[in-house]
Amino acid sequence: MKSILALVAFATLCAASAAQADNRVFIVANQSDGYGIDECLANGEKCGAHAARSYCQSRDFVEATEYRRVETDEVTGALPTSTTSPRPHSSVAQYVAITCHR
């Protein structure tokens, strides 16, 4: 009986570890294309779900579990400090984080 419980505990631990390894966060530029999808992604609105899912699927992931605007100080050292803005009316580049899951 103890060996069965140990086996179940081990399988649960392995499954939890595998689930964590199957998530990846992508940081992408929030570029205005005139369709408003960028605002949906940046604001985490439902209208961005399809775009986020499509982004993940194009990278061999099944689904997007989260998408939101990311401030440049949240990704220290990963983004250049002097970038040209993707938006003509903004002086600072904006980014979106999309969490993909397999």
Which of 1-10, 15-24, 44-53, 62-71 shows the lowest per-residue confidence on average (mean pLDDT)? Answer: 1-10
Structural domain including 95 reads 23-101
CA proximity to 93, closest of 49, 42, 34, 37 = 42
The predicted-structure confidence for 29-82, as pLDDT tens digits, reads as follows 877 676 677 788 888 888 889 989 999 999 999 999 999 988 877 876 655 655
Measure CA 102 to chain center. 12
Q: Does 53 map to a domain?
A: yes
Q: What is the pTM of this model?
A: 0.63
Q: What is the pLDDT of residue 65?
A: 94
CB contact at 8 A, 72 and 95: yes
Task: Read off the tokens for 44.
Answer: 């985490």
CA distance 31 to 14: 39
Q: Does 12 map to a domain?
A: no
Starting at the edge strand that comes first in sequence, how are the strands of the sheet with 95-101 ordered? 23-29, 95-101, 63-70
Q: Does 42 map to a domain?
A: yes
Q: Does 50 map to a domain?
A: yes
